[in-house]
Chains A and B, each alone.
Chain A
């Protein structure tokens, strides 16, 4: 049985026995390689589910749809390991209870899709721990290396150009499973900390604040870069933040659902080389 079939029947089973009220997964999209999120509530519809190497979107954010989890019923969701990490953070930040979530975990290696053992968020701790080590060992993004080698003025110029394209559609925010604030800081107009206009200054402010707010929370799922209609390399910013919290505080975002937010906790011996 193909992995897609396995997961379809799994979903059918879950819906059929009533253990979940909905399965959030992937369906066919407008073109052959496009996948779109779908919401299945009946066991008869599970054959609409698709699982292949094009299923890359992190679906965790849909779990926070207003009222979706309010009835305490369970929901199954297709998640890559990064998605499970996102789920852990959502739980750690009290946005949901993992007990309500059935994880249909999978990973993509090259073009191959592999199933992941487990159903609860906590079942994936081994693979997440493994990912943490991989992340530590992982060489920086090629562009990030180039950036680090530049002079500050060159780096500034690079980002100035990238940010100058930002149209402030906030697709990055909308696509991000971690952007669930009831009111985003940019929507607070008393005071208006972040300039809402999409001039480069306002864009710089927005993108810095977003990256900062994601420091230690970004699971690097790629939703934002993917959503950005003007191709700003947001993953570089978020990746840099992840590097920092990993090296400075040994914090791997979403390691487990008890993890304390890195910026709301501290150690007395945190490094501080830059402080005069």
Chain B
């Protein structure tokens, strides 16, 4: 019989307050196969881990159960401790008596009984655990960065500058993302384009970076160090090799009234276009949805004027296959659809803008050349009302989170407005001012004290047009009275939301996402840039609302994770993989069909003289991810899953 050590963690009071740990220890001590049972305040602490290691050596333990928090917290910690004590780490299992016991039950007695049963059944499981050896897989030293905004560019440059190869995929025609749209950035008020464009150029010219713009991720297979990624390069209808970026075609394009995405609808563009003047690459694409030729079969004006014959209407989407070792997801965010707030009149009143539109107005490269004027009549607004939390922090509208950047950019907007229009009035309706960050609070203070930003604490309840003015009614909750402001322009600090297709991308990548569609990190505090899928990392606002400094910091963190991965020739992978018993396999190939990873191959069994006896399934350890779907399909119980074998689970259930 085994010699199992059971270590019951109090987790301070977290467990001990509900579960009678001493009783649990006593119950385990009397269990067949348990050599020792100990309790301690924090087994995850250094002395706690040391005591486990000591016990492993002293009692010659053949298995360890740590009854503590969720294995998702500290399984790795305790397995490493066991390994350091010379016990194969896979002979250690975690009994979850915190998240799934002490924290969720009120009755101590029942919680204790449950803790005993949970621990006992895992003791039975661990008795059947086998020593497993990590699987070594080679690493392809090439990273895929999805998204060419500031986060993606930062990650790509950091990796490339350290010598790693990068494929940078951007779905728009140019790099830049949202940062390229901004005017000046808080809290330093440096010009966004001035700091962004050089980085875009650097990325495009970097010998280690392969840029795929106007491209999207089609398929991702494989696993850490060994992904096979298919990228769809959308047809640009402009030959990138021939085009010189002279812009002649855009001049001649007759389809001129297309609402420009880059300027958030504040200006128009042509059907053949570059998103903005500083685009990288600075070569146009044809928007086949609006192109007259694609609609009517006639026109080809661009083709006629192109000096290098770069226009090709026959062009088709191309699929690019990539071998990738690690993936950085930096797909950014979108601004929330303001239709959600009918009461704010967005769309109805042309002078109700989103924060991003205001950025374009304030931008020197924007449609007004940086002059803040009303879209309706081109007049300079005398009074602007800013409404914060337009969407954020409003569970009734489905967004409970704070978009994090709005407080800052609204303060910035008020400032920019005053800098450009010294007599302008700004009134800001807010819930709280959240200005935590280096120089942030000072920044908002400056807006109030130096630039006359008029903060009104309260929500806006109604907005209507009256005598050419936008009437804004809200409440000043500090003064406890209603406020009505006649404004010339209203700017909504709309919520930051995930990209509309983020969930699909999550499925393609096999990474988790939350209810909104922001991608899930492996651990909010301790593994904030990793995902639960090894080899895939998160940078920027695709994980949660972020400002530029945070996005850049996270991008660099991703780069360091990727580079750490690339610093090794081989990777060790969890040996939780399927294994086939060839003696009992009948070769029906149900497992082959069921496997999501094509990890099961057909293998010939031959006699000594090489004659085929029969064919059996054989698991490719490199490809298998350990889901166990094949095991359940296998009628003869031939395939089994290491770490979760039939014997282990049988014992676990029968030990309940």
Chains A and B touch each other in the complex, with CB atoms below 8 Å apart: yes
Q: CA–CA, A275 to B585, complex, Å?
A: 32
B594/A264 in contact, CB under 8 A: yes
Task: List the B residue with the shortest CB-CB distance to A261.
Answer: B590
Note all chain B residues with C-beta closer than 8 A to A180.
586
Interface residue B588 (Cβ < 8 Å from any Cβ of A): yes
Note all chain B residues with C-beta closer than 8 A to A265.
593-594
Interface residue B155 (Cβ < 8 Å from any Cβ of A): no
Note all chain B residues with C-beta closer than 8 A to A276.
none
B594/A183 in contact, CB under 8 A: no
The stretch from A28-36, A161-169, A188-196, A237-245 touching chain B is A188-196
A264/B591 in contact, CB under 8 A: yes
Instruction: Bits for A188-212, please: 1 = Cβ < 8 Å to B, else 0.
Output: 1011110000000000000000000
Interface residue B651 (Cβ < 8 Å from any Cβ of A): yes
Q: Which of B574-593 contact A (CB under 8 A)?
A: 583-591, 593
Q: A94-B588, A181-B586 are in contact. Are A188 and B593 (CB under 8 A)?
A: no
Task: List the B residue with the shortest CB-CB distance to A263.
Answer: B633
B637/A183 in contact, CB under 8 A: yes
Note all chain B residues with C-beta closer than 8 A to A181.
584, 586, 635-636
Interface residue A184 (Cβ < 8 Å from any Cβ of B): yes
Q: Which of B559-613 contact A (CB under 8 A)?
A: 583-591, 593-594
Interface residue A114 (Cβ < 8 Å from any Cβ of B): no
Shortest Cβ distance from residue B619 to the other chain A in the assembled complex, whole angstroms: 16
Q: Tell which of B585, B589, B635, B651 has the most Cβ of chain A within 10 Å.
A: B635
Shortest Cβ distance from residue B193 to the other chain A in the assembled complex, whole angstroms: 44
Interface residue B650 (Cβ < 8 Å from any Cβ of A): yes
Q: CA–CA, A190 to B646, complex, Å?
A: 8
Interface residue B502 (Cβ < 8 Å from any Cβ of A): no
Note all chain A residues with C-beta closer than 8 A to B650.
191-193
Q: Which of B367-425 contact A (CB under 8 A)?
A: none
Interface residue B638 (Cβ < 8 Å from any Cβ of A): yes
Interface residue B205 (Cβ < 8 Å from any Cβ of A): no
Size of B's binding interface in residues, CB under 8 A: 21
Interface residue A95 (Cβ < 8 Å from any Cβ of B): yes
Q: Tell which of A182, A188, A213, A265 has the most Cβ of chain B within 10 Å.
A: A182
Note all chain A residues with C-beta closer than 8 A to B593.
260-261, 264-265
Instruction: Bits for A140-180, please: 1 = Cβ < 8 Å to B, else 0.
Output: 00000000000000000000000000000000000000001
Note all chain A residues with C-beta closer than 8 A to B615.
94
Q: CA–CA, A23 to B585, complex, Å?
A: 29
Interface residue B348 (Cβ < 8 Å from any Cβ of A): no
Interface residue A93 (Cβ < 8 Å from any Cβ of B): yes
Q: CA–CA, A185 to B650, complex, Å?
A: 14
B635/A182 in contact, CB under 8 A: no
B590/A182 in contact, CB under 8 A: no
Interface residue B647 (Cβ < 8 Å from any Cβ of A): yes
Q: A190-B647, A193-B646 are in contact. Are A185 and B590 (CB under 8 A)?
A: no
For the residues of A in contact with B, the DSSP-based class is: loop
Q: CA–CA, A70 to B590, complex, Å?
A: 22
Q: CA–CA, A82 to B494, complex, Å?
A: 65
Q: CA–CA, A188 to B586, complex, Å?
A: 14
Q: Which of A207-264 contact B (CB under 8 A)?
A: 213, 260-261, 263-264
B637/A182 in contact, CB under 8 A: no
Q: A264-B593, A264-B594, A265-B593 are in contact. Are A193 and B588 (CB under 8 A)?
A: no
With beta carbons under 8 angstroms apart, the residue of B586, B591, B638 that contacts A95 is B586
Note all chain B residues with C-beta closer than 8 A to A191.
646-647, 650-651
Q: Tell which of A180, A188, A264 has the most Cβ of chain B within 10 Å.
A: A264
Q: CA–CA, A95 to B585, complex, Å?
A: 12
With beta carbons under 8 angstroms apart, the residue of A95, A182, A190, A263 that contacts B636 is A182
Q: A182-B585, A193-B646 are in contact. Are A188 and B637 (CB under 8 A)?
A: yes
Q: CA–CA, A184 to B638, complex, Å?
A: 10
Q: CA–CA, A134 to B123, complex, Å?
A: 54
Note all chain B residues with C-beta closer than 8 A to A193.
637, 646, 650
Task: List the A residue with the shortest CB-CB distance to B653.
Answer: A191
A182/B594 in contact, CB under 8 A: no
Shortest Cβ distance from residue A94 to the other chain B in the assembled complex, whole angstroms: 5
A263/B590 in contact, CB under 8 A: yes
A264/B651 in contact, CB under 8 A: no
A185/B637 in contact, CB under 8 A: yes
Q: CA–CA, A181 to B585, complex, Å?
A: 8
Q: CA–CA, A264 to B635, complex, Å?
A: 11
Shortest Cβ distance from residue B651 to the other chain A in the assembled complex, whole angstroms: 7
Shortest Cβ distance from residue B523 to the other chain A in the assembled complex, whole angstroms: 29
Shortest Cβ distance from residue B101 to the other chain A in the assembled complex, whole angstroms: 23
Task: List the A residue with the shortest CB-CB distance to B646.
Answer: A191
With beta carbons under 8 angstroms apart, the residue of B588, B590, B594, B636 that contacts A188 is B636
B584/A183 in contact, CB under 8 A: yes
Note all chain B residues with C-beta closer than 8 A to A182.
583-586, 636, 638
Q: Which of B177-236 contact A (CB under 8 A)?
A: none
Task: List the A residue with the shortest CB-CB distance to B647.
Answer: A191
Shortest Cβ distance from residue B612 to the other chain A in the assembled complex, whole angstroms: 9
Shortest Cβ distance from residue A220 to the other chain B in the assembled complex, whole angstroms: 19
Note all chain A residues with C-beta closer than 8 A to B583.
182-183
Q: CA–CA, A181 to B633, complex, Å?
A: 13
Instruction: Bits for B622-656, please: 1 = Cβ < 8 Å to A, else 0.
Output: 00000000000101111000000011001100000
Shortest Cβ distance from residue B142 to the other chain A in the assembled complex, whole angstroms: 32
Q: Tell which of B583, B591, B593, B633 has the most Cβ of chain A within 10 Å.
A: B593
Q: Which of B248-298 contact A (CB under 8 A)?
A: none
With beta carbons under 8 angstroms apart, the residue of B588, B589, B638, B646 that contacts A183 is B638
Task: List the B residue with the shortest CB-CB distance to A93.
Answer: B588
Q: CA–CA, A94 to B590, complex, Å?
A: 10
Q: CA–CA, A183 to B636, complex, Å?
A: 6
Task: List the A residue with the shortest CB-CB distance to B650.
Answer: A191
Task: List the A residue with the shortest CB-CB distance to B648.
Answer: A191
Q: Tell which of B591, B615, B637 has the most Cβ of chain A within 10 Å.
A: B637
Note all chain B residues with C-beta closer than 8 A to A192.
650
Q: CA–CA, A264 to B629, complex, Å?
A: 9
Task: List the A residue with the shortest CB-CB distance to B588.
Answer: A93
Q: CA–CA, A265 to B636, complex, Å?
A: 18
Note all chain B residues with C-beta closer than 8 A to A260.
593
Shortest Cβ distance from residue A200 to the other chain B in the assembled complex, whole angstroms: 19
Note all chain A residues with C-beta closer than 8 A to B586.
95, 180-182
B647/A94 in contact, CB under 8 A: no
Instruction: Bits for A262-274, please: 1 = Cβ < 8 Å to B, else 0.
Output: 0111000000000
Q: CA–CA, A185 to B646, complex, Å?
A: 12
Note all chain A residues with C-beta closer than 8 A to B585.
182
Q: A188-B637, A261-B593 are in contact. Are A95 and B588 (CB under 8 A)?
A: yes
Q: CA–CA, A180 to B638, complex, Å?
A: 14
Q: A191-B650, A264-B594 are in contact. Are A185 and B589 (CB under 8 A)?
A: no
Q: CA–CA, A95 to B650, complex, Å?
A: 30
B633/A264 in contact, CB under 8 A: yes
Shortest Cβ distance from residue A143 to the other chain B in the assembled complex, whole angstroms: 27
Q: Tell which of A94, A180, A213 has the most Cβ of chain B within 10 Å.
A: A94
Task: List the B residue with the shortest CB-CB distance to A266.
Answer: B594
Note all chain A residues with C-beta closer than 8 A to B584.
181-183, 188
Q: CA–CA, A185 to B647, complex, Å?
A: 13
Note all chain B residues with C-beta closer than 8 A to A188.
584, 636-637, 646
A94/B637 in contact, CB under 8 A: no
Shortest Cβ distance from residue B38 to the other chain A in the assembled complex, whole angstroms: 30
Shortest Cβ distance from residue B1 to the other chain A in the assembled complex, whole angstroms: 17
Note all chain A residues with C-beta closer than 8 A to B651.
191
Note all chain B residues with C-beta closer than 8 A to A184.
636
Q: A190-B647, A191-B646 are in contact. Are A94 and B589 (CB under 8 A)?
A: yes
In the A-B complex, the 8 residue pairs with the smallest Cβ-Cβ separation, listed nearest first, are: A191-B650, A183-B584, A264-B590, A181-B636, A93-B588, A264-B593, A264-B594, A188-B637
Ordered by A's residue number, 9 sampled pairs between the chains whose C-beta atoms are within 8 Å are A93-B589, A94-B615, A95-B586, A95-B588, A181-B584, A188-B636, A190-B646, A190-B647, A265-B593
Other 9 A-B pairs with CB < 8 A, given A94-B588, A191-B646: A95-B586, A95-B587, A182-B583, A182-B585, A182-B638, A183-B636, A184-B636, A213-B635, A261-B588
